[in-house]
Amino acid sequence: MLHEKITVRINDKDCTTHVLTPTGSEGGPAILFYFDAGGIRPVFLDMAQRLANAGYVVLVPDLFYRYGPYGPFVPAEVFAGDAAATLGPLMATTGNAVAAKDTEAVLSYLDTRTDVRGEKIGSVGFCLGGGMAIAAAGTYPNRMAAAASFHGGGLATDAPDSPHLYARTLNAELYIAAATDDAFYPSGMADRFKDALDTAGVTYRHETYQAAHGWMKPDFPSYNEAAAERGWGEMIPFLDRLLKDR
């Protein structure tokens, strides 16, 4: 495998960005990989590498760059204490619209790489990053053909940058993986989100997993191996169909 750690300049600040590709690869389509509220940590980079090993150039920007150095956090320890006090200040430095704007510089960097194949790219996000992946796809509709959200929270709220508001500008197809036990994405919010997608004519698949919020991440207390493997089994064919098979 190849793991590069590069710097993307955004708003006169340095945004550390991890780029992961498979060993011996001649390149592949690009995927933007958006983190959760726990930020960059070894387990999350392992997840990005798993996607890279499926034949993708995966970029993981550290969108907490405005905050400065942090962590890496161990989610079990964070959730055992005052998680809001620990993670809240980092989360306050970004959001859906801010992350989408920051993505512009990441895309500019992406255009300099010779190992990226194809014109269209995809986005994948988890928890906090689920909404970011959708917002980025809606902000750059001519670049993104696929966007996937796994246990994304707050996908349809009254916030001015709520992910459901990007439905009207989406060209990407969506895969939305929700959880049966998720206070951050209750059933009423899911209905509101799907209504927005239907009204805008977005092509999407919305599935609910028998799991709790955060089930995809091995370092989360709510990790569910069976559900996570199902998620990977859905994610990679979804991306392959839209980014490799055309």
Per-residue pLDDT tens digits for 205-217: 999 999 999 999 9
Does the global pTM surpass 0.75?
Answer: yes
pLDDT the model gives residue 23: 75
Sketch the domain layout of the chain as residue ranges.
2-243
Top-tier CATH class for 2-243 = alpha beta
| pLDDT reading at 108 higher than 70 | yes
Which among 97, 91, 115, 153 is positioned nearest to 31, based on CA atoms?
115
Strands 173-181 vs 204-212: parallel, antiparallel or unpaired: parallel
| pLDDT reading at 41 higher than 80 | yes
Tell me if 18 sits within 8 A of 5, measured CB to CB.
yes
Q: What size, in residues, is the chain?
A: 246
pLDDT the model gives residue 1: 56
Share of the chain above pLDDT 90, in %: 95
Q: Give CB contacts under 8 A, 24+ apart, made by 188-197.
A: 189/154, 189/155, 189/156, 189/157, 190/155, 190/156, 192/156, 192/164, 193/155, 193/156, 193/163, 193/164, 196/156, 196/164, 196/165, 196/167, 197/164, 197/167
Tell me if 73 sits within 8 A of 109, measured CB to CB.
no
The whole-chain average pLDDT of the chain stands at 95
